[in-house]
Amino acid sequence: MFYKAYSPKVNGFIIKFIKEGCGIRGIARLLRISTTTLLNRIRSIAQKIQQPILTSNKIYEVDELCTYVGRRENRIWIACALERESKKVVRFYVGKRTNKTIRKVIDDLLISNPRQIITDKLVNYQYLILKEIHRTFSKGIQNLERMNLNLRTYLKRLNRRTIAFSKEITMLKAVTRIYLWA
């Protein structure tokens, strides 16, 4: 019997298990591979995933999701942009709780010449988005809010009260990338 980590089917199983909300130790146990090998495979899978291509003249919803890495005091934002028509996440960025994190997503959207960018009423957005294309609604971004709920439901590391959490920001980025785009 050979070590299963190098089987060609393992990457597909890793992606499926991540999307189903399995933890790292659970996936390693199910696939009978070491957790270190699994973490390396997750990083390599995430690196190979390409960002979706942005098309011009679209309507986007932008929102942020708060979580932490390591301990609760180390707050992290996941800023996401969803294309309203297809309901697919086209951009996300993981970083500190600053305007810089949101700006990374907004700048990508602005390059694509959007028709409209819809956000919640967070004050930070008014400084980053042109007034001509910016709209704020308290209930206008329900597609993205639902996606945030799905993220919290399926990726246990994003739950607010849990023992599952990311120890490294690179793993948070990798797992989020796999969940959203694989």
Residue 182, domain member (yes or no): no
Q: Are residues 97 and 155 in the same domain?
A: yes
Q: How far apart are CA 181 and CA 169, in angstroms?
A: 18
Q: In the predicted model, is pLDDT for residue 71 greater than 80?
A: no
Q: How many domains does the chain have?
A: 2
86/147 same-domain check = yes
Residue 83 CA to residue 60 CA, distance in Å, equals: 5
70 and 31 in one domain? no
| 177: in domain | no
Using DSSP's 3-state secondary structure scheme, residue 181 falls into helix
Residue 89 has pLDDT above 80, yes or no: yes
- Structural domain including 90 reads 59-167
Residue 1, pLDDT > 50, answer: no
Flag whether 172 is in a domain.
Answer: no
Mean pLDDT for the stretch of residues 47-60: 94
